[in-house]
Structure 1
Amino acid sequence: MSIERIESVVYGVDDLDECARFFVDFGLELVEHTEDRVVLTTQVKQRLVLKRNDDPTLPASVEATPGIREVVWGVDSQAALDALVENLRTDREVDVDQDGVAHTYDETGFGLGLALTDPVQLNYDPRKYNSSGRVERWNQPHTEITDITPIRICHVALNIPKEGRHEAVDFYLNRLNFRATDIVEPMGVFMQVEGDDDQHNFLLCHRPDRAGTNHTSYEVSGFDDVIEGGNHMIQKGWREARRLGRHTVGSNVFRFIHNPAGGRVEYAADMDRVDDTYGPNVHAETPPHHIWVLETNRDTPAPNTSEGTALP
């Protein structure tokens, strides 16, 4: 009995229509758009909820700018949900709404929810790739991906103050049974929920030394989706936040876009999958952000070849 996944992420925003357009362009399915809120879903029916910053139903904000107000975690059984709520009520108020979703706060002040999960089994055929000695695709030329649809919200990253960071992390480890996978002492702690095998589902990052939204990450099926998804967002007028690359921690290929709802969003593919024999790895120094990142000199003057590396 355990937390299996992120069930929903709730934002408080300044411009509801702009943020709705952003996430539709990003590839989420729009299921509700009213004057007061917008609801979009991933392929596995996790929900992305947008509400106006002054909506009284939102948890209090930890930052002055738009951002994440609540992360709701999906629990695999009512018994497990009840046990988690009972434990949390020993030192904080927990409200259960008419849909059975429990709402409270974590140690930093972010809204925290717990709900029964209702996972959807996907039947899709990921793109096949060829290399010498390993042929997956015969007589099937690749074509453009015209519809980037994120499979799921695979992780959330939140910024926290340095003071109280240990208590903030311990809350998730000891009260919600998360597991630390990589502890980067100068930066933050990567954590995995019990019911998933991604290298991390959650990051608490203390490097900025303030509470706020860092990013949410959405899994897509492959490298082409990451690249074409980012291209599509740029063509729609949104701003890229980082160049295409592959992370060191987690190993996933990434592309980040600035998010008008707060922080950034990430297209991600090929994340490390790990079991409970992995880690926790403790890093006294921060590993490089990426193994590689796209570099180009196409739009810069050609170098003076006479100053290049001398040939033997």
Structure 2
Amino acid sequence: MTSPDTPAPATPDPHQGLHSEYGAQPDEHPGRAAQPVIKVRDLAWLEFVKPDLERAETFARDFGFTVAARTPEALFLRGTMPGPHCLVIRKGPSSRFLGPAFLAAERGDLDRLAAATGHHVNTLDEFGGGHTLDLLDPSGVPVRIVHGVAEHRPLPPQAPLSLNTGGRAARINTPQRPPVTPAQVERLGHLVLATRFFTRTLNWYLHHLGLLVSDFLYLDGQRDRGPTMAFIRCDRGSDPADHHTLAMHLGPDPGYVHSAYQVADLDALAAGGTYLAQRGYRRSWGIGRHIQGSQIFDYWRDPDRFLVEHFTDGDLFDHTLSPGWAAMSASGLAQWGPPATRDFLGTPSPALLRATLSALREDNEIDSVRLAGLMKAMSS
């Protein structure tokens, strides 16, 4: 019998022994804001500009999206799960990423955030309706916080396959023949951004949107200078949320890195990848399983060279988990699968060289030591 004075056994830390050191060292970033202004529920959608909506729609259908609405000036895409549309592609002269929209829990959250930032809540006069508060993060990325957007009913899902595993026979006298078809996108999972102002931008999202850090990465030998990447989830209290809804890392070329979309299972992901390859699209990296977040992943380039990911089987964390800490490295991006490709990590180019020289001349968190550490991490 345990006495009242006997301490309760410690809850095992899910980071320990996997990929991260146990917890932060004294005075390191706590991974959350003490008094956030609001707590967003999820990513609502991402917005892009592309010159050819017909080509964008063709790839979207091949990748597994469903068209929710189409106008001469915009394409609205959704997944099979209930909720708002998850992608908006606007017609414009050149391809670019506009920014993310996050879903507020309550209409009053928009007013509270507007009062804290000195901005105004506006009506969305387009497909889906609702209200939006439009801000800029410290890196200059437009960020929308929305509420009241029309939610779509669920579509028939792509059911996960029934598997025979070990001593469990779930499938008798029934061959397994998954068709080579597009992997149906279920929902938007996460967005990854690069920034030259990592700490300031991270703190902005934690303070204004109430996000929580699941994992920090730091450069080898430079942990005392603070983290250089964060995997960030929504704070839904005891309700679990994706390991990361937003991830950001320090880098000389700021902006969009990739976005990820959930599919039913490994077979859907793999068969969908085969379908994309047959249609002439180019795989960037995959198939493998990530370390931070544990997702099975498959990365592709769309016709405008944006990097997009199919994923399945990601981690879910509630609000109690503290951040893990680990050194950043290319080999640390996956538990299994092929090595990270040069295309995924960033192919050297004149544009990247110009961005790097620009970053080194500006007042930001990129300096020669940081840059050398980033180059070492991506080649290790």
Q: Judge same fold: TM > 0.5, yes or no.
A: yes
Structure 2: how far apart are the matches of 1:132 and 1:198?
28
| Number of residue pairs aligned between Structure 1 and Structure 2 | 279
Of 141-150 and 241-250, deviating more is 141-150
1:141 maps to 175
| C-alpha contact 2:86 2:187 (8 A) present in aligned 1 | no
Equivalent of 2:137 in 91, 103, 106? 106
Cα distance, 1:127 vs structure 2: 2.1
TM score, norm. by length of structure 1: 0.81
1:192 maps to 233
Equivalent of 1:288 in 325, 329, 332? 332
Q: Provide the aligned C-alpha RMSD in A.
A: 2.3
Residue 285 of structure 2 aligns with an amino acid whose one-letter code is: R
Residue 242 of structure 2 aligns with an amino acid whose one-letter code is: D
Equivalent of 1:51 in 90, 112, 119? 90
Q: Which structure dedicates a bigger proportion of its chain to strand?
A: 1
Q: Which structure dedicates a bigger proportion of its chain to helix?
A: 2
1:137-286 pair list within 5 angstroms: 137-145=171-179, 146-161=181-196, 164-186=197-219, 187-195=228-236, 197-206=241-250, 208-286=251-329
Residue 101 of structure 1 aligns with an amino acid whose one-letter code is: T
Cα distance, 1:289 vs structure 2: 1.2
Structure 2: how far apart are the matches of 1:228 and 1:260?
20
Structure 2: how far apart are the matches of 1:84 and 1:133?
54
| C-alpha contact 2:42 2:102 (8 A) present in aligned 1 | yes
Of 18-27 and 134-143, deviating more is 134-143
Of 193-202 and 173-182, deviating more is 193-202
2:71 maps to 34
Which residues of structure 2 form unaligned runs of 5+?
1-37, 125-129, 220-227, 340-380
| C-alpha contact 1:14 1:261 (8 A) present in aligned 2 | no
Which residues of structure 1 form unaligned runs of 5+?
55-64, 296-312
TM score, norm. by length of structure 2: 0.68
Write the deviation string for residues 155-213 of structure 1: whole angstroms up to 9, x where unpaired: 0111212xx2100000011111000111112341110012351111111121x322121
| C-alpha contact 2:184 2:263 (8 A) present in aligned 1 | yes
Answer yes or no: is 1:15 the counterpart of 2:52: yes
Residue 109 of structure 1 aligns with an amino acid whose one-letter code is: G
| C-alpha contact 1:158 1:203 (8 A) present in aligned 2 | yes
2:17 maps to none
Residues 285, 25 of structure 1: alpha-carbon distance in 2 compared, 3 angstrom cutoff: closer
Structure 2: how far apart are the matches of 1:71 and 1:149?
22
Write the deviation string for residues 53-73 of structure 1: whole angstroms up to 9, x where unpaired: 35xxxxxxxxxx733212011
Cα distance, 1:25 vs structure 2: 1.0
Answer yes or no: is 1:75 the counterpart of 2:104: yes
